[in-house]
Amino acid sequence: MPLSIENSDLHKRIHKRDHSVLKKEEADQREHRELHLCIVNMMPAGALKPTELDFLLPIGQASGALQIVPHFVRIEGVDYGKHHDYIMENYNSFDEIKKIAPDAMIVTGANLPSGSPTEPPFYNPMDKNSQLYKALEEIIKYAESNDGPTSTLYSCLASHAYMQIKHDAPRQKMQEKRWGNFEHQNTSITHPITEGISSHFMLPHSRWNQITWEQVLDAEMKLLAYSDEAGVLLASSEDGIRAILMQGHPEYSTTALLKEWNRDLGQAMKSRISGDDISAPIPPLPANYFEGHSLTLAKKFQDQVLSGEYDEQIKQSRLIMPKHIEKQILDAVPNRHSSVSNDILGKWISSVHNITHYDRGKPFMENLDPDNPLNLPQDEPIYSPVYFPE
């Protein structure tokens, strides 16, 4: 919840450092209610339930006294496999969500089909003829409308879909998977989502494709955080809030990269063992994640997998790291990103709360400029190749 300052001189001084701080009379005019958050969960079976927690826990922990009411969305016609009954009981259709009129929305990333018969058929969200792409077109159209939420956060692959659908800017294929923990630079010290966070900080990425900072600036969007190694982390629509693109993964728990590496290692070995691809590449270790004892343990486990010690398990189901090995590795993995992750997600939801109309279904308070509802300064420099040389 933002500060409210009665002392006009103090407010003037503190507002230069934190634009969310209110004058006392501004705070007195505000009515408070719960904030309704819609999450479009596009993750497949294995990651569907963990993704719920990955987003809700940091937002809940960072939201203070603000009451958050989450609603989850199902994509009609998609086979959710073993989670079908759970989805039908706990997730809403998109038409139901529009009646709820959420204040904020998150669209998660999506893993493309691995070819495994145990995975539900989630369709390629980047294929214009796919069911999921058409669903995303409808979601983005609603998010951009006057009846839509105050802000929509597009995570990872969803940010790529947004750029293609909204700005006709297709993502670019990278030569290798970019994943691990990477250092970022805060490139917008006045935007409320990045205002006050460290000038340089670590956060995870995990993807084979990217939207570039050139595409962000060509679309007249605001670049909020960037990494020389990993590329764009955060960007916003020109107005600063209606669309927030999050190409990295602030929502990742400390265990996420380990489980993803274990999954990719198992898939590569399954392709080799089955003969589908006897030269399937072994995934690299995630960057800046394992170190010291955790690195030694991870390499030892990989050597055991490559030597055939887990072949029978892989043939029968999937590679499962023994619990005692997983615990030893995680005990030795440094947590470098949780605090800034909570800060970013918390600042996003707080920003939404600060400008959202008390009446449900209205994105902004009536005294705000819809083209600049955050009242961002217009003289902040635009970051360009001068700042980020190739």
Q: Domains plus CATH for the chain?
A: 31-254+336-355 (3.40.50.880), 256-332 (no CATH)
Helices (H), 146-208: 157-167
156 catalytic? Reply is yes
Catalytic hit among 19, 36, 38, 156: 156
Distances (CA, A) of 367 to 33, 140, 357, 374: 18, 26, 10, 11
Quick one: pLDDT at residue 190?
Answer: 87
Strand partners, 205: 180
pLDDT at 196: 86
| Secondary structure (3-state) at 12 | helix
8 A C-beta contact, residue 72 and residue 83: no
* Calculated CA dihedral for residues 115, 116, 118, 124, nearest 10 degrees: -20
Please give the pLDDT value at position 122: 45
Structure tokens at 83: 């989670």
- pLDDT, residue 125, reads 66
Does the annotation mark 251 as catalytic? yes
Q: Distance between alpha carbon 254 and the CA centroid of its chain, in Å?
A: 15
Q: Is 390 a catalytic residue?
A: no
Catalytic residue among 36, 249, 337, 353: 249
- SS3 (DSSP) at 215: helix
With a cut of 70, list the residues of the chain below it in pLDDT.
1-11, 13-32, 45, 77, 79, 111-125, 380-390
Q: Which residues of 57-78 are buried (b: 16+ CB within 10 A; e: fewer)?
A: bbbbebbeebebebbbbbbeeb
Residue of 184, 191, 251, 353 marked active site: 251
The reported pLDDT for the residue numbered 60 is 78
- The full DSSP string for 320-333 is ---HHHHHHHHHHS
- The structure tokens listed for 29 are 């005019």
Q: Are 259 and 301 in contact (CB under 8 A)?
A: no
